[in-house]
Amino acid sequence: MPPTPHTPLKRSNAVQRRPHAILSHASRLRKARKIELLLSAFSSLQGARILEVGTGSGYMAQYFSERVGPTGRVHACDVMDQRQVTEGYEFQQIQDTRLPYQDDTFDIVITNHVIEHVGEREAQIQHLQEIRRVLKPDGYVYLAVPNRWAFIEPHYKLLFLSWLPAPLSSIYLRLRGRGNFYDCRPLSHRSLTRLLHQTGFRFHQQTFAAISVMRDLEQPHLSKPRRLALSAPRFMLPAVYPVIPTLIMILTPRSL
């Protein structure tokens, strides 16, 4: 069955958007290892067919191509081609949220800090609908998104930027000399879970597990304040969850 068509994503602000991909090799390998460890509690990578939506540098896609073994395959797509490595996986450049793959194709889909870049709520719904369409009925999705209520917005490093309504956030950017248009739409836990229910996903909250994994993997590379924050006792984490910087979930499809 060919990909299901839907209304194209409106990109009225496309000329003002800028790339946000992290191109550091070491950083992407640590991120890929973290994703692998979190997914391993749900599914084996051996022999899996994996799709990475928003491949950026390509380092993570290449990493996973080495983990799926000879019977697995890795595909990647992005609206921009910023790849630093091209070997080991298949890449397609896309125009919007539509994915150029057949229904029920992938065992695992990775959408790592992508949904906040696709546009407004309608486009975010389309992003999740397309992922659900290409995911096998028994497949898994790794999803990470910046928390809207985090104190520091991660793309522009400005205090409370994502707390503001879109027009005010763009004014804030201009006043600070960081650009003309705030092109990201981070999600709160509440808004994210609503989108997941609407698009037919069950979710397993993995934010706390990811903090433990990050602490173990990135300890030598962390600043002292971040190291102290990640070392907080597990029982304290629910108290700070509303403002935790990144929300991470493993998704599975449910019957609509």
Judge if 49 and 166 occupy the same domain: no
Judge if 57 and 179 occupy the same domain: no
Write out the two tokens for 47. Answer: 């022999």
Residue 171 belongs to domain spanning: 151-183
Q: Last residue of some domain: 183, 206, 239?
A: 183
Judge if 84 and 124 occupy the same domain: yes
Domain harbouring 53, CATH code: 3.40.50.150
The verdict on residue 205 lying in a domain is yes
Q: Last residue of some domain: 183, 202, 233?
A: 183
Single pTM value for the model: 0.89
pLDDT in tens for each of the 256 residues of the chain?
A: 334 444 333 443 443 456 788 888 999 999 999 999 999 999 999 999 999 999 999 999 999 999 999 999 999 999 999 999 999 999 999 999 999 999 999 999 999 999 999 999 999 999 999 999 999 999 999 999 999 999 999 999 999 999 999 999 999 999 999 999 999 999 999 999 999 999 999 999 999 999 888 777 766 555 555 555 556 666 677 888 899 999 999 999 986 4
Q: Alpha-carbon distance 21 to 80, whole Å? A: 10
Judge if 121 and 236 occupy the same domain: yes
Specify the residue for token string 């229904």.
Answer: 103
Q: Phi and psi for 147 in degrees, rounded to 5?
A: -80, 125
The verdict on residue 54 lying in a domain is yes
Judge if 56 and 99 occupy the same domain: yes
Q: Which of 105, 25, 30 is nearest to 58 (CA)?
A: 25
Q: Give CB contacts under 8 A, 24+ apart, made by 43-49.
A: 43/107, 43/108, 43/139, 43/140, 45/69, 45/72, 45/108, 46/71, 46/72, 47/71, 47/72, 48/72, 48/107, 48/108, 49/73, 49/74, 49/75, 49/105, 49/106, 49/107, 49/108
Judge if 61 and 29 occupy the same domain: yes
C-alpha to C-alpha distances, 22 to 55, 59, 82, 103, 226, nearest whole angstrom: 10, 10, 10, 30, 19
The verdict on residue 13 lying in a domain is no
Judge if 112 and 215 occupy the same domain: yes
Judge if 166 and 71 occupy the same domain: no
Q: Last residue of some domain: 183, 207, 239?
A: 183
Judge if 91 and 175 occupy the same domain: no
The verdict on residue 6 lying in a domain is no
The verdict on residue 120 lying in a domain is yes
Question: Number of structural domains, the chain?
Answer: 2
The verdict on residue 144 lying in a domain is yes
Cβ distance 9 to 118 under 8 Å?
Answer: yes
Judge if 157 and 146 occupy the same domain: no
Q: What is the pLDDT of residues 91-137, one digit of tens each?
A: 999 999 999 999 999 999 999 999 999 999 999 999 999 999 999 99
The verdict on residue 49 lying in a domain is yes
Cβ distance 25 to 83 under 8 Å?
Answer: no
